[in-house]
Amino acid sequence: MRISDMGMNYLSLSIRDVSSLLKQKTISSLELCNAALKRQNAVAKLHPFITHTPDLARESALHSQKRYDRGEQNLPLDGIPVAVKDNFCTSGIPTTCGSVMLQNYIPTYSATVVRRLQKAGAVIVGKTNLDEFGMGSGTTDSTFGPSKNIYRSGVEYNFLHPSREYDNILSRIPSTALENGDWYVTGGSSGGSALAVASGTTFLALGSDTGGSVRNPSSYCGVVGLKPSYGLVSRFGLISLVNSLDVPGLFGRYVDDVATMLSVVSGLDPQDSTSVSSDLQNLKLPENPSLDGLIIGIPREYHWPGMSKEIVDEWTKVADLMEDSGAQVRRLISEDFSKVWASGVNLLLTPVTLSTAIRYSEFQNLDNRTQTATQDICTQAANMAGVPAVSIPVSLNTEGLPVSLQLIGQWGKDPAMLSAAKWVEQNVKFPRINILE
């Protein structure tokens, strides 16, 4: 690995920036689609996908390109490559849930979230890998093989260069893959979606979150992972693990990208009785969000035994950073969410996982049930309460692995939570992977 002194590849850009290039005809939708499909081949050995959809992707990209060529008002995700976890039904495309039992199942309809993405101009580039039926925390239990984290994988990449403060860290990161064929897990169960975004095969991806299945892999893979408020996004067409807990989750490299995706997929769906109406269709986060007046809670009970020192250190560092920028931080004792919100706290800042990504050789030492219980310790509460939560990468450790933190908000206050997440993103300057041709 090396610090990048080159410009960004198109696949490293934010949605807003690449959309601007599409409008200016600096790049065409088809060229962007082909770049994403080429990148799929480059990282195929990491196994982010179960099913590739190149013909469908190119057809969708051509439709977007025609809209750009005609100078029409463009759709929110016009020409943007998006991936879908393989437990969302997709019309005419296999939906396997990572299981041999469904390897030949081709739905006749698409999940509401998939239809809304396509209606917004998204280019579906494939179905992503997952633990079989969503039951796992590593994406190691798919019938079609495990997903492998891009970090220290042997796949070539470098870093976008956010600031000189990371020079010393990046210079110490080992440049070689792990020995003896070992690798770091992506986290689960939506590890394929997190990996698809982290490795540059797509800008956005759909996942599902039962007890942390979006935030866990986004933390391990260094991307943004959102679990929306329960009911805000329709679950129709999602083959769920636990109906009362599952929420469609969203992955992106940037908080703004995830907010754009949320604006497209949220809202009332007559086919899902638990869905609610929302006014997020025009959601746009402030350019320069502020923390003034926010009260950030730091729950002590999240300081679990076995939590790594590097996670605790980053937790403290970001809490102090937020406090210095205008947010009366409160250290909380164990209380339920309703009491926390009633006390005036707006958001909670917590770890996402007890450690950074785990080596597969270590991960397999525990059975799946134990791993799931261990890895979801910091994330399950948000699902039980139905409140929104978002994972944001904040630093790299000495092995070059992402360290992430989680913001938890009040039900329905997803925009305010994402605005604070954007503030964190802007101020920690996480060194992102630069996607290479």
Q: What percent of the chain has pLDDT over 70?
A: 95
The DSSP secondary structure of 53-90, one letter per residue, reads -HHHHHHHHHHHHHHHHTTPPPPTTTT-EEEEETTB-B
Determine which helix (DSSP H) or strand (DSSP E) holds 434, and give its type and residue range.
Answer: strand 433-434
Q: Is residue 65 part of a domain?
A: yes
Give the C-alpha separation, 364 to 351, whole Å: 23
Q: Is residue 145 part of a domain?
A: yes
The residue from 64, 213, 219, 234 that is catalytic is: 213
Backbone angles phi, psi at 148, to 5 degrees: -120, 130
Give the C-alpha separation, 50 to 40, whole Å: 11
Pairing relation of β-strands 389-396 and 224-227? antiparallel
User: Can you give 378-395 as a three-state secondary structure string?
Assistant: CCHHHHHHCCCEEEEEEE
| Residue numbers of the domain that contains 324 | 10-434
Catalytic status, residue 234: no
Structure confidence at residue 381 (pLDDT): 92
The residue from 12, 189, 219, 391 that is catalytic is: 189
Q: How far is CA 401 from CA 45, 57, 193, in A?
A: 19, 32, 18
Q: Is residue 84 part of a domain?
A: yes
Asked if pLDDT for residue 122 goes beyond 90, the answer is yes
Asked if pLDDT for residue 297 goes beyond 50, the answer is yes
Q: Is residue 134 part of a domain?
A: yes
Q: pLDDT, tens digit, for every residue of 300-334?
A: 888 888 899 999 999 999 999 999 999 979 887 66
Give the C-alpha separation, 345 to 172, whole Å: 39
Give the C-alpha separation, 81 to 57, whole Å: 8
Q: Is residue 131 part of a domain?
A: yes
Give the C-alpha separation, 370 to 112, whole Å: 33
Backbone angles phi, psi at 339, to 5 degrees: -70, -35
Residue 207 in contact with residue 98, Cβ under 8 Å? no
Structure confidence at residue 48 (pLDDT): 98
Pairing relation of β-strands 204-209 and 81-85? parallel
Q: Is residue 3 part of a domain?
A: no
Determine which helix (DSSP H) or strand (DSSP E) holds 309, and give its type and residue range.
Answer: helix 309-324
Mean pLDDT, residues 355-369 taken together: 86
Helices 414-428, 309-324: axis angle to 10 degrees equals 100
Structure confidence at residue 383 (pLDDT): 93
Q: pLDDT, tens digit, for every residue of 139-186?
A: 999 999 999 999 989 888 888 765 666 777 777 777 778 888 899 999
Q: What percent of the chain has pLDDT over 90?
A: 77
- What's the total number of domains in the chain? 1
Q: Cis omega before residue 4 (within 30°)?
A: no
Structure confidence at residue 3 (pLDDT): 36
- Which DSSP letter does residue 359 get? B
Q: pLDDT, tens digit, for every residue of 232-285?
A: 999 999 998 888 889 999 999 999 999 999 999 999 999 999 999 999 988 999
Which of 126-130, 132-136, 296-300, 431-435 is predicted with the least confidence, judged by mean pLDDT? Answer: 431-435
Give the C-alpha separation, 123 to 78, whole Å: 8
Q: pLDDT, tens digit, for every residue of 338-353?
A: 889 999 999 999 999 9
One-letter amino acid for residue 388 of the chain? P
Pairing relation of β-strands 347-351 and 330-332? unpaired
Q: Is residue 4 part of a domain?
A: no
Catalytic status, residue 85: yes
Which of 100-109, 163-172, 215-224 is predicted with the least confidence, judged by mean pLDDT? Answer: 163-172
Give the C-alpha separation, 233 to 332, whole Å: 30
Mean pLDDT, residues 70-75 taken together: 89
Asked if pLDDT for residue 117 goes beyond 80, the answer is yes
pLDDT band of residue 372 (cuts 50, 70, 90) is low
Residue 378 in contact with residue 351, Cβ under 8 Å? yes
Q: Which of the two residues, 155 and 190, has the higher pLDDT score?
A: 190
Which CATH number goes with the domain that contains 273? 3.90.1300.10
One-letter amino acid for residue 355 of the chain? S
Q: How many residues does the chain have?
A: 437
Mean model confidence pLDDT for the chain: 92
User: Can you tell me whether residue 281 is helix, strand or coil?
Assistant: coil
Catalytic status, residue 127: no
Q: Which of the two residues, 398 and 132, has the higher pLDDT score?
A: 132
The residue from 28, 29, 60, 85 that is catalytic is: 85
Asked if pLDDT for residue 7 goes beyond 50, the answer is no
Asked if pLDDT for residue 369 goes beyond 80, the answer is no
Q: Is residue 210 part of a domain?
A: yes
- Which DSSP letter does residue 160 get? -
